[in-house]
């Protein structure tokens, strides 16, 4: 039962990530293409900077969630902190990930081309964002583990 809770929450988190990522992707890609200004190197730099800043904040929030659990046994703080990472950061990190549903969903490059970005910029931004998308998936696993920590621990 305890492992079932982890798996169920992981499935719900994955479904949320896919739904929210589709909603958030247009704004994130518009921002990155706008900041790139037609330069592929600037696009890659901005992508790394924005994704790294978001990842750092997410890791710090998860660390705070673990700290409040260990020090004060504060479930009322741990759960909202870990849930906020699942609700906000994980879909944000997934916006630049590769999609396996090529016939159903457009690729990141196709979406940026629709926004008017040159092909070199779309390739640079997509390439720079893929490792951060993978990192977001790992953060999702960590956040789900932190959310279910109390049930897995006992």
Segment 107-120 mean pLDDT: 92
Q: What per-residue confidence (pLDDT) applies to 72? A: 95
Query: What does each C-alpha distance from 48 to 70, 84, 99, 131 come to in angstroms?
Result: 32, 22, 20, 9
Q: What per-residue confidence (pLDDT) applies to 95? A: 92
* pLDDT bracket for residue 107 (50, 70, 90): confident
What sign has the CA pseudo-torsion 78, 79, 80, 86?
positive
Q: Where are the domains of the chain?
A: 41-147
Question: What percent of the chain lies above the pLDDT cut of 90?
Answer: 77
Q: What is the mean pLDDT of the chain?
A: 91
Does the structure show a pLDDT above 70 at 102? no
Residues 93, 133: contact at Cβ < 8 Å? Answer: yes
Q: How is residue 113 annotated by DSSP?
A: H
Segment 140-151 mean pLDDT: 90
Q: What per-residue confidence (pLDDT) applies to 22? A: 83
Burial of 143 (0-12, 13-18, 19+ CB in 10 A): buried
Contacts of 108 (CB under 8 A, 6+ apart): 25, 29, 95, 96, 97, 98, 99, 122, 125, 126, 129
Burial of 28 (0-12, 13-18, 19+ CB in 10 A): buried
pLDDT 10s digits, 50-101: 999 999 999 999 999 999 999 999 989 999 999 999 999 999 999 998 766 5
């Amino acid at each position: 039962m305890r492992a079932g809770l982890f798996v169920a929450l992981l499935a719900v988190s994955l479904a949320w990530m896919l739904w929210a990522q589709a909603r958030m992707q247009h704004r994130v890609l518009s921002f990155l293409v706008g900041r790139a200004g037609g330069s592929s190197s600037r696009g890659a730099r901005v992508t790394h900077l924005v994704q790294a800043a978001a990842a750092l904040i997410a890791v710090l929030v998860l660390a705070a969630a673990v700290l409040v659990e260990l020090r004060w046994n504060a479930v009322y703080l741990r759960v909202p902190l870990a849930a906020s990472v699942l609700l906000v950061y994980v879909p944000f990190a997934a916006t630049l990930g590769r999609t396996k549903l090529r016939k159903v969903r457009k690729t990141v490059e196709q979406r940026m081309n629709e926004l008017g970005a040159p092909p070199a910029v779309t390739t640079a931004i997509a390439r720079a964002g893929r490792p951060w998308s993978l990192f977001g998936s790992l953060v999702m696993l960590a956040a789900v583990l932190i959310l279910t920590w109390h049930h897995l621990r006992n």
